[in-house]
Chains A and B, each alone.
Chain A
Amino acid sequence: MEAIMSRSVVLFTPQLTQVRGMATLKDIRLRLKSVTNIQKITKSMKMVSAAKYARAERELRPARSYGAGAKAFFESTELEQDKTQPNQMMVVMSSDRGLCGGVHSGICRELRNKMNENKGSVETKLVVVGDKARGILQRTFRENFLLSFNEYGRKPPVFADAALVANAILDVDYKFDVASLYYNTFRVTELPLFSQEHLAKAEKITTYDSIDEDVLRCYNEYALASLIYFAMKEGACSEQSSRMTAMDAASKNAGEMIEKLQMTYNRTRQAVITRELIEIISGAAAL
């Protein structure tokens, strides 16, 4: 009686562990396959974004000189922003696509800090380019949205995109006193934008000859489009490079996981075989 009891106990436990062991084996195999697939995806994404980064950087070089030229006038007239003024507008450049490290969340964090600083005194409106930033900011700042743009980020930016954004900003006719453009250049950069009235009031503008209101307006509109273009190009470049690093890190992590899973898989397989052997031997002995 006791022998039977003891035998049944001995038979019982290995079977339980064996069942559990086999289920774990299948689980591990499944997990291994899925992690390997994901590693293939992240590796290919890294290579694609490396190619896109090379192209974006190549296009950025003339865009940098162009942007420097557009900024030169504003720097030379030494226009300054008075941040305590009531109506503010912030233009945010991000993109539609994710999996690029911290670029979108970084720029939204910076923006959130700025908005929280100004909360009581100033009214800030947001112009957001890119779905990612819109998604992040919509949760807390829905009432502050003025315009948002999407379908942006799949193809490299061209001047026509910037002109579209600039035209929309001018058309919406929000009278702002202070405006800034936020974009990424491996860290969040802020570029001041100026309205036409602000330009006309600047003291150094009188040194400029033969300017009438029409010329000033045309100049300002074109400068707005140029600065937005410059910010778009810089943002695209830094997004691609951030994606490259992120995907590279992801591939490495996936590789480590695969190694560990492989180890566990081998050990589990060996354990299962050993248990089966023990089972059979002890079963034979019982007979």
Chain B
Amino acid sequence: MAGLLKNGIRAATLARQCSRLAVSQQRSYSEMSFTFASPANVYYTAANVKQVDVPSFSGSFGILPNHVPSLAVLKPGVVTVFEEDGSNKKFFVSSGSISINEDSSVQVLAEEAHPLENLDAQAVREGISKATQEVNAAASEKAKAEAQIALECYEALQKALEN
């Protein structure tokens, strides 16, 4: 009777261990710990999402779980996050960095990041005209480069709003 009980307990422990093993396999397959933050707001902290599309200077790419580890620099553009339930959220980022680590954790750190709904189309249009003027009127190389950066950012903003 005691022997039966002990076997029963052992079987239960083994079953539990096996299920944990199976679960952990499943977890490492489809889990990505995603952190998306700016100095002012944090949008995702170690969240589980399906895919993230990021604009970077080496091209826009999508990050899925178990992506090869990499580093990249953010370009002004739209970050799209595809969440577990199928919905997707878009944010406009100005600049920053992306790091994908070995354990499939992704950190997108943006200097400025705002949901697209918060953007004002009128302000973007005014910004573009002002920036174009500044590029043409720029005196030194440095001023021209700064005005050019501003113009590129505004154009990216407009493209984000159009889509």
Query: Does A73 contact B107, Cβ atoms closer than 8 Å?
Result: yes
Q: Hey, which bits of chain B sit against chain A, CB under 8 A?
A: 35, 37-42, 45, 57-58, 68-73, 95-97, 99-103, 105, 107-109, 111
Chain A contact-residue range equals: 20 to 34
Query: Does B101 contact A209, Cβ atoms closer than 8 Å?
Result: no
Chain B positions within 8 Å of A61 at CB level: 42
Task: Please provide the chain A residues from 204 to 232 with a CB less than 8 Å away from any CB of chain B in the complex.
Answer: 204, 207-211, 215-216, 218-219, 222-223, 226, 229
Chain A positions within 8 Å of B97 at CB level: 218-219, 222-223
Query: Does B58 contact A69, Cβ atoms closer than 8 Å?
Result: no
Known interface pairs A209-B69, A215-B73, A222-B109; A73-B101 also in contact (CB < 8 Å): yes
Q: Hey, which bits of chain A sit against chain B, CB under 8 A?
A: 59, 61-63, 65-66, 68-70, 72-73, 76-77, 158-159, 162, 204, 207-211, 215-216, 218-219, 222-223, 226, 229
Chain B positions within 8 Å of A219 at CB level: 71-73, 97, 99
- CB contact between B102 and one of A76, A159, A218, A229 (< 8 Å): that residue: A76
Provide the main secondary structure of the chain A interface.
helix
Query: Does A65 contact B73, Cβ atoms closer than 8 Å?
Result: no
In whole angstroms, what is the CA distance A76 to B69 when docked? 10
Lowest 3 A-B CB distances belong to which pairs?
Answer: A69-B107, A76-B101, A62-B42
In whole angstroms, what is the CA distance A209 to B41 when docked? 29
Query: Does A72 contact B101, Cβ atoms closer than 8 Å?
Result: yes
Chain B positions within 8 Å of A226 at CB level: 39, 109
Least Cβ–Cβ distance between B71 and chain A, in angstroms: 5
Least Cβ–Cβ distance between A197 and chain B, in angstroms: 16
Query: Does B39 contact A211, Cβ atoms closer than 8 Å?
Result: no
Query: Does B37 contact A65, Cβ atoms closer than 8 Å?
Result: yes
Name 25 interchain pairs, CB-CB below 8 A, sorted by A: A62-B38, A62-B41, A65-B35, A65-B45, A66-B37, A66-B42, A66-B109, A68-B35, A69-B109, A72-B105, A76-B102, A76-B103, A76-B105, A162-B39, A207-B69, A208-B70, A208-B100, A209-B70, A210-B58, A210-B70, A211-B71, A215-B71, A215-B73, A218-B73, A219-B72
